[in-house]
Structure 1
C-alpha cells in the first residue's frame, strides 16, 4: 500500500514515517511539508525520490501515485485537506483532533459518509494492548461506581531533542504568522469568543483531551450530559463532570504544567474492584500503557498487566491498512472524532455559564 505523508513535523518524524517504512504492507511513496529543508532531509533519510517531495498538499494528491495518505499537519488545516483527500478517493488516516471548529468536523463526517474511501482518525491510545485488555475486563463488570480520567501534560519539548534526531522546519515569519492567525481565528469561532486567552485555552485543551474523550467514548459510548465544568488558570486546567448514556459518571481532570513528568490515567471503581489504566510519555516509542487491577472483598488481590513492548501507533497503522484492504469497520471513525470536537467545545460553553 503506497502512502503519502502530508505534514512532516514531530509526530510524523517520530512515529508515522518510521512505521510506514517498517511495516511490510506499507511503502513510503511521497512526502509533503511546507518547509523545504524538512522534505529534503527526510527525503534523503528515507530514500524518497526528489520528484516525490512536495511543499503543497494538493500537488501530492494530484501528482503522486499513492493509495492512502496520513495527515499530520496542524489541526487548523485538517478540514480542507481531509475533505480533498476523501473526495479524491484516497484512504485517509488523519491525526487528532479532527478539526478545530465543530462545524468543520460535521462537514467532514458528511464527506466521509459519502466517500468510498476509508477514513480513520489516529487515536493511538485506543490501540494500546492494555486499553484493549481493560475493555475486555469491563465486560464482566455489572456496576460502575465512578470513573476518573486524569491527564496533565509535561513540557515535552525539553526531552524530545535528547531522544530523537528531529529536523526542525525553516519557515518564514510571514508563513508562521498567517498559520497562527488562522488557528487563533478558528479557535475563537469554535467557542464563539473574542477573548484571546480563552481561545488559547481551547487550543490547548482540544489537542490535549481529545485523546481522553475518545478513549472514554470507546469504553462507555456517548456523553449524555455535562453536569459541571470548572476552569482555572485561564482555562489551562479544568475539572468536568460527565454522564454517559449508560448512566456512568466520570470526573475528567485535564491540565497543562511545567512539570518534568507526564501523568495520565483512567481509573474505574466498582463495588469489588479498582481498574487503573496508566499511560506514560506519549512521544517515547514502545512505551506501552499498563493496567492495574485490585480486587477482593474478603482479601485483596493485585494484578499488574504490562504487555510486551508494542507500539500503539504501529498497531493503529496496521489496523488502518486492514480496514482499507478488507473493508472492515473502522474502530475510530470520523463520526466519533466529530462528536469529540463538539463535546470539547461544549465544555467551554458550560464553563462560561
Structure 2
C-alpha cells in the first residue's frame, strides 16, 4: 500500500514515518514538509526519491492522488482543515493526527466532506489502540454500575528529553513563515472560543491538543458527554477541572494541565462498588511504551492484577487499522464525527468557564 506523509515534524519522525517503513505491506511513496532541509534529510534517510518529495501539500495531492493509496496528515493543527479537505476531494483515504481541526466550524466542514467522499476518513487517536485500553473496554462489559470516573492528564516538558532519545531533523524556516503560521493558529483559537483575548486563545490551543486524547478515550468507554456540570480553569487556563456526565449517567472528574515537572502523568480511573480499574499512560513520545491496566477487586479479600503488554506500539496498530479500513477489511474506530464532538466539547469548556 503506497502512502504519503504530509507534515514531517516531531511525531511524524518518531512514529508515523518509521511505522510506514517498518510495516511490510506499506510503502513510503511520497513525503511533504515546508522545510526543504527536513525533506532532503528524511528523504535521504528513508530512500524516498527527489521526485517524490514535496514542500507544498496541494502539489503532492494533485500530482500523486492517482498513485497513492492514502495519506497521513501530521501537519500543525491549524492546517488540518484545508489539507484534509483537499485530500478527501481527491478521493484519498486519509488518516489525520488529532485534533481534527482547531475550530468546531472547520470540524463540521470536514465531517461533511468525509460524508460526501467515498474514502476512509480516520483521526489518529493512538491511545484508543493501546492493548490495555482495549482490555479495559472488555472489562467494562461485565460491570453493571460505575460509582465514579477520574481522568487526569498533566504534561511534562517533553522537549527536554526528546533530543536525547531521537535523531530529529529540526526545520529551517523563515521568520515570516513562522509568524504567519502562528498568527493563523491564534486567530483560529480565538474563533473557536469566541474571544479576542490572546491568553484565553493560547490556553485553548494548549488544552485542545492536550486533552482531546482523554476526551476521546472517555467517549470510547462511556459514549457521548451530555452535560458539563462544572468547569474551572486556573493559571490562565493551563490547568483545569471539569465535572462531566455521560449518556449512561456516569460522572467524571477531569483534570487537565501543563507543568514544568520532570514526569508525565496521565490515567483513567474507574471506581465500582467492588473494584477499581486504572489505566495508566506513560511518556507519549517513547516507542513501545505501552499503557498499563491495574485492577483491584474483592469484598472479602483484595485481589490485584496488572496487564502490561510489551512489544506492541499503539501508533503502529493504529496505522495497521487504517490500512485495514482502506482495504475494506476493518471498521473506523475513531471517525471524524467523534473528533468533531471532542473539539466542540473542549471549546464548550472554555465558553462555560466564562459564564
TM-score bracket, normalised by the shorter chain, equals: over 0.9
Following the alignment from structure 2 to structure 1, what is the Cα–Cα distance between the partners of residues 329 and 296? 39
1:187-219 superposed Cα distances (whole Å, 9 cap, x missing partner): 000000000000000000000000000000000
1:351 aligns with 353
Q: CA offset at residue 327 of structure 1? A: 5.1
Per the TM alignment, residue 25 of structure 1 is displaced from its structure 2 partner at its CA by 1.1
Aligned partner of 2:277 in structure 1 is 275
Equivalent of 1:297 in 299, 312, 325: 299
- Cα deviation for residue 347 of structure 1 reads 0.3
Tell me which of 95, 98, 111 is aligned to 1:96.
Answer: 98
Q: 1:140 aligns with which of 136, 139, 142?
A: 142
Shift of residue 301, structure 1, vs aligned partner: 0.3
Give the C-alpha shift of residue 282 in structure 1: 0.0
**Which is further off, 324-333 or 4-13?**
324-333
Q: CA deviation at 1:265?
A: 0.2
Residue of structure 2 equivalent to 1:67: 69
Number of the residue aligned with 1:338: 340
- The 2-side partners of 1:309 and 1:352 are apart by 45
* Within-5 A mapping of 1:1-353: 1-64=1-64, 65-326=67-328, 328-353=330-355
SS of residue in 2 equivalent to 1:3: strand
What's the secondary structure of 2:284's corresponding residue?
coil
- Taking the aligned partners of 2:195 and 2:46, their CA distance within structure 1 comes to 44
TM-score by length of 1: 0.99
What is the alpha-carbon distance in structure 2 between the residues aligned to residue 146 and residue 309 of structure 1?
32
1:230-256 residue CA offsets vs partner (Å, 9 max, x unmatched): 000000000000000000000000000
TM-score (norm 2): 0.99
Q: CA deviation at 1:67?
A: 1.2
Aligned positions, number: 353
After superposition, the CA RMSD in angstroms is: 0.6
Instruction: State the distance in 2 between where 1:329 and 1:37 align.
Output: 37
Task: Tell me if the contact between 2:321 and 2:330 (Cα under 8 Å) persists in the aligned partners.
Answer: no
Residues 32-41 or 56-65, more deviating: 56-65
How far apart are residue 335 of structure 1 and its match?
0.6
TM-superposed deviation, 1:328: 3.1
CA distance in 1, matches of 2:63, 2:83: 15
> Structure 1 unaligned runs (5+)?
none
- Give me the whole-angstrom Cα distance separating, in 2, the residues matched to 1:131 and 1:140: 15
SS of structure 2 residue aligned to 1:66: coil
The Cα shift of 1:326 comes to 1.6
Distance (whole Å) between structure 2 residues aligned to residue 167 and residue 344 of structure 1: 32
SS in 1 for 2:262: coil
SS at match of 2:244: strand
Gap runs ≥5 in structure 2: none
Secondary structure, in 3 states, of the residue corresponding to 1:326?
coil
Shift of 1:78: 0.3
Deviations 1:152-198 (A, max 9, x none): 00000000000000000000000000000000000000000000000
